[in-house]
Amino acid sequence: MEPDRLRWRHSSEGSFTVNKLYKRENNIMQEEELKIWRNVWKNIAPTKVKCFTWLVVRKACLTHEVLQKKGRVVVTRCFLCNETRETNNHLFLHCKFTAQLWNMFFSLTKTVWTMLEHTADLMSCWMKRRGSKSKKKWWRIIPSCIWWSVWRKRNGRCFEDKIRSVHDVKWNCLETLFFWCKQNCIEEIEELVEFVGAL
């Protein structure tokens, strides 16, 4: 009879080495990275929006947080809520202004969602929603659409001192999503109101 010993379940022989752990963790990270990559690049958003979305996910978008890391002296208040520091995750996920856009889409799609901490985490699990093929296509571009609308609103306020209401930005976001879907023939719906009803 063999004496009891510790076995590492992630190895066929049961032995643990740092090298095996590193390879295992690296594979998991690569799978997550691939999932995020697919969600960003394999969707119907315009190419410039895909590039922008990739910057958001990589935290490379020129928010105040990134500008400060590059040595720029900037006011760190969020231009949209004016309440806290403008970080990538705050601006695109947690800002009160941005949360209203997310909540609009969650309400329209009858989705229960707990907002994640980081943009990369959101993109990683965004595709777990089930539904028809056409609905999956437009579902995949919702984060890009929200982030693009938020960034345009933020830059309008930052550089042109434009103030637009949340209602205007919500409507613009819906129009943008509708336009991208129409351009790619996802739905045979002619009117924006019909499209919103089909969400």
- Note down the domain range covering 142: 18-60+87-198
Averaged pLDDT, groups of 10, the chain, 199 residues long: 75 78 68 78 90 93 90 86 94 96 91 90 79 75 95 92 89 90 71 67
Q: What is the pLDDT of residue 87?
A: 94
Q: What is the pLDDT of residue 153?
A: 95
Domain annotation covers residue 68: no
Question: Structurally, how many domains does the chain consist of?
Answer: 1
Domain annotation covers residue 47: yes
**Tokens standing for residue 149:** 């609308």
Q: What is the pLDDT of residue 23?
A: 74
Q: What is the pLDDT of residue 197?
A: 65
Domain annotation covers residue 132: yes
The count of C-alpha atoms lying within 13 angstroms of the C-alpha of 40, restricted to the half-sphere facing its C-beta, is 25
Domain annotation covers residue 44: yes
Domain annotation covers residue 129: yes
Domain annotation covers residue 82: no
Domain annotation covers residue 122: yes
Q: What is the pLDDT of residue 134?
A: 66
**Tokens standing for residue 73:** 């002296």
Is 151:112 a contact under the CB 8 Å cutoff? no
Domain annotation covers residue 69: no
